[in-house]
Amino acid sequence: MNFLSFNLDRVEWRRIADSSNAGYKIDFEYSLLGFDLDAGRLDMLLRYAAGRGHCRRHRHVASTMTLVLEGEQCLQETQADGSTRSISRNKGDYALSPADSRPHLEHGGENGGTVLLSMCTNDGILFEYFGDESEEPWTVSIDEFVSSWKCGEIYGLVK
């Protein structure tokens, strides 16, 4: 059993920033808290930059628990008919999404936000990412995510 004293100032953060997308700015940090590869579980923190910093457009393939620790988490979820649904979560809000959730854009509020994500996967796949219209979607597995963390790399930076 692992114990971690929870202090956001002492967490190892890895930043991803990409200004090449004209529609939204990718600017967030993440940190792995713990994982169990045999059980298919990964716990992580995600921190959005102030000024509506986004993470990449994606969908959660794994079942995901989300708890907003600071600030705000905003989502623009793409529906089956192509419309979008807006979701806003504030500090203290909890959500549990099943595996195979809808694709979405996700960002913090004007002052950013920090969320705890706890994911469980049966087939090893955590996320499916979507680039621009010309790119094929790609997935990231729990093994790839953990391996990149252990090597000091940033997951999925180069697909």
What tens digit of pLDDT does each residue of 56-89 get? 888 899 999 999 999 999 999 888 898 999 999 9
- Confidence at residue 142, expressed as pLDDT on a 0 to 100 scale: 95
| Secondary structure letter of residue 8 according to DSSP | G
- Confidence at residue 35, expressed as pLDDT on a 0 to 100 scale: 95
At 55, list the tokens.
Answer: 């993470």
Class of the CATH-defined domain 13-150: mainly beta
- Confidence at residue 159, expressed as pLDDT on a 0 to 100 scale: 40
- Confidence at residue 13, expressed as pLDDT on a 0 to 100 scale: 93
CB 98 within 8 A of CB 121: no
- Confidence at residue 5, expressed as pLDDT on a 0 to 100 scale: 62
- Confidence at residue 153, expressed as pLDDT on a 0 to 100 scale: 83
What is the Cβ-side half-sphere exposure of residue 145, based on CA atoms within 13 angstroms? 24
Q: What is the CA radius of gyration of the chain?
A: 15
The DSSP result for 129-151, as a single string, is: E--STTSPPEEEEHHHHHHHHHT
- Confidence at residue 9, expressed as pLDDT on a 0 to 100 scale: 85
Q: Count other Cβ atoms within 10 Å, centred on residue 35.
A: 19
Q: Which residue is it, tokens 């960002």? A: 107
- What tens-digit pLDDT sequence spans the chain (159 residues)? 566 567 888 889 999 887 777 677 888 999 999 999 999 999 999 999 888 888 888 889 999 999 999 999 999 988 889 899 999 999 999 999 988 888 888 999 999 999 999 999 999 999 898 876 657 888 989 999 899 999 988 765 544
The overall pTM is greater than 0.75: yes
At 93, list the tokens.
Answer: 């809000």
